[in-house]
Structure 1
Amino acid sequence: MDHAKLDRMYQTIAQTVIEMIPEEWMKVYLYGEVMEGVQRTFFYYFPKASKEPVYFLDIIELFEVNEEEFEQLREQLNDHLKSLWKEFKQSGHEPWSTFMIVFDHTGKFNAEYGYKDLSDPATDFFERRLIWEYKYLGLIPKDDFARRILEEYLKDTEGKSD
């Protein structure tokens, strides 16, 4: 695969996220899932003035942003991830199912791909998101139902390595 093209695709994803963030920020954690017919993407960012991450959909409630423009950027972000996924497929690489990119305000970034079968009925997107939020951001759900899911995951993974 052409590394220059891959770098440009990462840059486009990051630039779209940056356009969605209406304040100074330090670091972004983006997670996406892409499969035939299914796509989900979300991100958190750490504002410059806070140690608490902000969930991307909370931006609309926290700031006076144009919702229509925000939704257009959200669609563009989804399109960029789908293009990245298609690029892998078209270049003969195994298409990934999960993608994560972490980047900071200095331009440093790290991209990771996952290849788990997401059609497994034992886990759903809600559970995967809770686990991801805990593993990468240290977030513990406030709601009892979600907290029980996370506790069950932690109990099941005790002693196991990823």
Structure 2
Amino acid sequence: MKKEWQEEFFERQNELISALTQQINDTIPDEWKEFYFHADINDDFSGGVYFFFNTKESTDYIYSEDIPEIYNVNEDEYYERWDKLYKLSKSLKQLFIEYEQVLWQAITIIVDEKRTLKMDYDYTECLGSSSGHNEMIDYFEYKYLGKVPGDKEEEELFKKMEEYQSKFNK
């Protein structure tokens, strides 16, 4: 019986991940090379989503919130697509609850230029940290996109964030 529910869990998880990646693809109004998606979904289902992507023309990463301005996309249309990403992320968290799996606080989905998918579940209690939203995004860029700290203070902050995160992800 255990094998059956595991198969069902992984099948539903794969369906949700596939829907998320398709929705990200639909949200990016350009031919992308790779993207890094991040969802913070707390146990009360509050949170948020964002992603970075680059294009075949440029290795510079574009922040998802900049899409309306850079690509002249209607903001209502953009936020409708963002809302779908958020709802899919909450559905993924709900799936873990339904199948009594260890609850994650965040997920990062990486799809590279070969369309290889990598998922990174994070169990860090972000609300327990002293870092704000912008600092968390800067840390994400540092961790995944190779952002160089702007100064010693930011470098120290990122090191503290790494240490804090390592307490939850053993």
Range into which the TM-score falls when normalised by the shorter chain: 0.7 to 0.9
The 1:5–1:61 alpha-carbon spacing in structure 2 relative to 1, beyond 3 Å, is same
Pairing 1:113-124 to 2, within 5 Å after superposition: 113-124=121-132
Q: What SS does the aligned partner of 2:128 have?
A: coil
Aligned with 2:78 (options 60, 70, 75): 70
- Confirm whether residue 109 of structure 1 aligns to residue 113 of structure 2: no
Preserved CA contact (<8 Å) 1:130 1:150 = no
Query: Hey, what does 1:87 align to over in structure 2?
Result: 95
Instruction: Give the letter aligned to residue 101 of structure 1.
Output: I
The counterpart of 2:157, out of the listed 142, 153, 156, is 153
Identity across matched positions, percent: 25
Structure 1 residues 64-115: Cα deviation after superposition (integer angstroms, max 9, x where no partner) = 2222211110000000000000100111112210100001354310011111
The answer to whether the 8 A contact 2:45-2:90 is kept is no
Helix, strand or coil for the counterpart of 2:25?
Answer: helix
Aligned to 1:15: 22
TM-score relative to the length of structure 1: 0.86
AA of the residue aligned to 2:64:
F
SS at match of 2:121: strand
Rounded Cα–Cα distance in structure 2 between residues aligned with 1:108 and 1:62: 27
Measured against aligned partners, the alpha-carbon deviations of 1:28-66 in whole angstroms (never above 9, x if no partner) come to 001111011421111000111111011111111111222
**Aligned with residue 142 of structure 2, among 124, 134, 147:** 134
- Distance (whole Å) between structure 2 residues aligned to residue 149 and residue 17 of structure 1: 33
Q: Is 1:46–2:65 an aligned residue pair?
A: no
Quote how far apart the aligned CAs of 1:138 are: 1.5
Query: Could you list the runs of 5+ residues in structure 1 that have no partner in the other structure?
Result: none
Q: Give 1 or 2: higher helix fraction.
A: 2
CA distance 1:139–1:97, shift in 2 (3 Å): same
Describe the SS at the equivalent of 1:5: helix
**Structure 1 residues 113 and 72, CA gap change in structure 2 (3 angstroms):** same
Q: CA deviation at 1:155?
A: 5.4
Aligned residues, how many? Answer: 158
CA RMSD of aligned residues (A): 2.5
Q: Return the TM-score normalized by structure 2.
A: 0.82
